[in-house]
Amino acid sequence: MSRYFVGITGGSGHPYALALIRALLENGQEVDTSVTEAGVKVLKHEVGIDAGPEGVNLGSALRARLGDHWGERLRAFPSKAIEAPPSSGTALTGGVIVCPCSMGTLARVSVGFSSNLVERAVDVALKERRTLVLVPREAPYSQIHLENMLRLARLGAVILPASPGFYHRPRTMEDLVDHVVGKVLDTLRVPNAVGARWKGLPPPDEDAGTGVPPPRDPLAEDRPR
Ligand SMILES: Cc1cc2nc3c(=O)[nH]c(=O)nc-3n(C[C@H](O)[C@H](O)[C@H](O)COP(=O)(O)O)c2cc1C
């Protein structure tokens, strides 16, 4: 079992953050988490979780959503709690994940700027050369965004964009979210069955009965509107 730090920022994609925290816990890991001030607004808007000013209520809000039986395996800290364990390299972690990672946080951590607990946890991961996974979300990317990502990748961060594939024929939003979350867990080497694993193209006449959903044209006339 390892303890992972999941930083949540004001980028879009908070269903990924929730699913990632849930998957880490359900796959036997421990989670520390914190949400930036901008992230508090997007968390409330996208998934209806009210973490309160500076994220002081994030722990109770997550327990209300994910279950209150996790005890100390799930710890949440306000964004200004720079005294919290994730601020120090002496507190060992299995890795730091920022999901979703806004372009603002991406820019700041790319130059070693630590204005809140999420950014400090990234700074620690970089200085200690620990596993760091950033899940950026923006479209399109500017040259500044791309240069910041390149700088961080060269420092050892894994840039794992929130861009799910369609080759596993997703049917639901959960399928799309799980595709990204499964890739994060794989990067962390956390054994998991989150998201479909590619087994090669099924022969056309064997699609039925293999558990692979049939292909669906999103522009088909009978699509739900
Ligand atoms: C609804 C909403 C969606 C947003 N989506 C994104 C996004 O996908 N990517 C991004 O970089 N910023 C996005 N932003 C803007 C960031 O929240 C903003 O730049 C903020 O200052 C980032 O702060 P942080 O990095 O401290 O979380 C969004 C803001 C709102 C309100």
pLDDT digits (tens, 9 = 90+) for 73-110: 999 999 999 999 999 999 999 999 999 999 999 999 99
The string of pLDDT tens digits covering residues 30-77 is: 999 999 999 999 999 999 999 999 999 999 999 999 999 999 999 999
42 lines ligand 1 (CB under 6 A): yes
Least confident of 75-84, 153-162, 194-203, 216-225: 216-225
Location of structure tokens 């508090």: 40
| 113 C-alpha to ligand 1 centroid (Å) | 17
137 lines ligand 1 (CB under 6 A): yes
pTM of the full predicted structure? Answer: 0.94
Extract the tokens encoding 194: 């989150």
pLDDT for res 212: 65
| CATH architecture for the domain at 3-199 | 3-Layer(aba) Sandwich (3.40)
pLDDT for res 170: 94
Phi, psi of 132 (to 5 degrees): -135, 120
pLDDT for res 214: 72
Extract the tokens encoding 91: 């507190």
**Residue 215's pLDDT band (cuts 50, 70, 90):** confident
- Break the chain into its structural domains and give their ranges: 3-199
Could you please report the per-residue DSSP string of 37-57? HHHHHHHHHHH-----GGGTT
Strands 74-76 and 95-101: unpaired
Phi, psi of 150 (to 5 degrees): -65, -45
| 40 C-alpha to ligand 1 centroid (Å) | 10
Atom of ligand 1 nearest to the CA of 103: 11
Provide the 10 A C-beta neighbour count for residue 66. 17
Using alpha carbons only, give the angle 96, 152, 197 rounded to the nearest 5 degrees.
60
